[in-house]
Structure 1
Amino acid sequence: MTMNSTVKNINATFTNKNNFCIGLILSISSSVFIGSSFVLKKMSLIRIGRRGHLRAGAGGFGYLTDWMWWFGLLTMGVGEMFNFAAYMFAPASLITPLGALSVLVSALLASKFLNGNLNNIEKMGCLLCVLGSTILVLHLPKEEQTQTLHELFSRIQNPVFIDFMNVELLVCFTIFCYFGTFHGTKHATVYLMLCSIVGSITVIACKGLGLAIKNIAGGDLQDFQNIWVSLVLLLIVIVCICIQMNYLNKALDLFSTSVVTPIYYVLFTTLTIIASAIVFEEWKNMSDINIVGAICGFFVTVIATFLLNMFKDNNKSVVNET
């Protein structure tokens, strides 16, 4: 019994490390594609504005006629697919903060295709972004705490999570009905807050969908009996992504990437970490050192995103660019 237990523990440890590496590689690949898509979409929106089409920020959909926007959308789709796959192998609390690497990719590409050379502050931001991401990888949980879809459902029934979701939905409804109409064109945070809230919901839904696919692939017949749940989760993911795409386009059209990228990263990552912490409770198995290290790593990446974007030479609205 002791030998069998030892072998099982070794196999479990190897599997966890293997899954962690796969999730990490997928997350980094996702950041490359998503970061590239920001710049491609921005370039497309600038081109569309110059052609005299109704701007996306004013409710126009002229970008749908531009091949570059569709290429950017395809690039983001590939990135989101990698990101979705990463959630199947690694904890959400690890995958989400690594989105800072997409900010790094976006800044590097934007400096070449939109704004010129990186200044010294932006170069410092690049170094801090890599440093912060490395700290996060070293200190955040590397093992999944939720293995089945049914376990996830029991976790989301947590009253704290339900209250958190109610607050998020109330904020979304308020932005959609009032703040988006009257303040969305003046303050980037309005549309980006809506995108971030919907994004945090998407992450939880993606996690559930990933667990369902993983369990079904492993031969869990019980999940076949609840296949409709997986379809509902898929529908939620699709709807949420469509909402994010619409309002992110509005924000990108009205404000420069130097404003949109860092604010979106900070809001989305913060809300997702809070939601994941409530649902998965991965922090309970973290040591005090790892908790402090993860917090420090997150703040380093936050500082890096602002250094990468907030000190650009042309930190202006697209309205002034076109």
Structure 2
Amino acid sequence: MLMFPKSLSLVTSSEKLNILGKLGCLLSCAGSVVLIIHSPKSESVTTQAELEEKLTNPVFVGYLCIVLLMLLLLIFWIAPAHGPTNIMVYISICSLLGSFTVPSTKGIGLAAQDILHNNPSSQRALCLCLVLLAVLGCSIIVQFRYINKALECFDSSVFGAIYYVVFTTLVLLASAILFREWSNVGLVDFLGMACGFTTVSVGIVLIQVFKEFNFNLGEMNKSNMKTD
């Protein structure tokens, strides 16, 4: 996962979440952990040829086309108009770009093995490695740009919680499509993913809907004492 630059921590050091926001963060993180535990397990891909076959699969190519189209719409049309007022715009851009990290890092690792061992396909592996490095580098650079934009406009605690959840969900989705994992999902894992996704959704709603409510646990206790 991406780490926020240290310089950004000074921008939002005084920001606080109310009790419902903190509960939303806890639920979102817990739900995403449940999603990870019950997510489909990746097939073992040990050669460059196997990865290339999966990368060129029509389903995965179609997924990439949809992601690229959504990124173009978000970056050039939606972000300039609604980015500073809607946190999901910047989060969607960063998370969609983050889904490229799974195939890119896997491909770079496999291609590097062929290059270092001077296999007959080392020239082809070098080309693939350079392409994936370029994709990974551009993805990380653009993500940092929009992370900076988001932290200038929104609370770091709110952004961090929602970004973690959406990023994790999209990376799991990209991995499942790339490695064709859905056929191996049993009933227990399906129910676990449904519960995890529901928990994540409730957490995000708590963070977003109640973020303007200015109350904390101390004020709630005082209110109860007055009522008694």
Q: Given the two structures, how large is their TM-score scaled by the length of structure 1?
A: 0.55
Q: Is the 8 A contact 1:212 1:223 kept in 2?
A: no
The match for 1:114 is 14
Shift of 1:121: 6.3
**How far apart, in 2, do the equivalents of 1:182 and 1:121 lie?**
26
User: Match of 1:221, SS?
Assistant: coil
Q: Deviations over 1:223-262 (max 9, x none)?
A: 5332221122112111110011001111111111244234
The match for 2:170 is 271
**How far apart, in 2, do the equivalents of 1:246 and 1:169 lie?**
17
Q: Does 1:224 align with 2:122?
A: yes
Amino acid across the alignment from 1:188:
I
| Structure 1 residue runs without a partner (length 5+) | 1-29, 47-112, 316-322
**How far apart, in 1, do the equivalents of 2:213 and 2:119 lie?**
56
**How far apart, in 1, do the equivalents of 2:128 and 2:39 lie?**
30
The match for 1:149 is 48
User: Match of 1:114, SS?
Assistant: coil
Pairs aligned (count): 213
- Superposed, which structure 2 residues align to 1:117-266 within 5 Å? 119=19, 122=22, 125-126=25-26, 129-130=29-30, 133=33, 136-137=36-37, 139-142=38-41, 144-213=43-112, 219=117, 221-222=119-120, 224-225=122-123, 226-266=125-165
The structure, 1 or 2, with the larger RCO (C-alpha pairs under 8 Å, 6+ apart) is 2
**How far apart, in 2, do the equivalents of 1:185 and 1:131 lie?**
27
Q: Is the 8 A contact 1:168 1:197 kept in 2?
A: yes
List structure 1 segments (4+ residues) > 4 angstroms apart after TM superposition.
Answer: 214-217, 304-315
Q: Is the 8 A contact 2:28 2:201 kept in 1?
A: no
Amino acid across the alignment from 1:133:
V
**How far apart, in 2, do the equivalents of 1:174 and 1:117 lie?**
31
Counterparts in 2 of 1:128 and 1:266: CA distance versus 1, 3 Å:
closer
Counterparts in 2 of 1:208 and 1:122: CA distance versus 1, 3 Å:
same
Q: Does 1:45 align with 2:11?
A: yes
Moved more, 287-296 or 233-242: 287-296
| Structure 2 residue runs without a partner (length 5+) | 215-228
Q: Is the 8 A contact 2:54 2:178 kept in 1?
A: yes
Q: Is the 8 A contact 2:42 2:179 kept in 1?
A: no
Q: Deviations over 1:47-100 (max 9, x none)?
A: xxxxxxxxxxxxxxxxxxxxxxxxxxxxxxxxxxxxxxxxxxxxxxxxxxxxxx
**How far apart, in 2, do the equivalents of 1:132 and 1:274 lie?**
13
Amino-acid identity (%): 33
Counterparts in 2 of 1:203 and 1:114: CA distance versus 1, 3 Å:
farther
Q: Is the 8 A contact 1:133 1:301 kept in 2?
A: no
Shift of 1:280: 0.6
Counterparts in 2 of 1:151 and 1:274: CA distance versus 1, 3 Å:
same
Q: Given the two structures, how large is their TM-score scaled by the length of structure 2?
A: 0.73
RMSD of aligned alpha carbons: 3.4
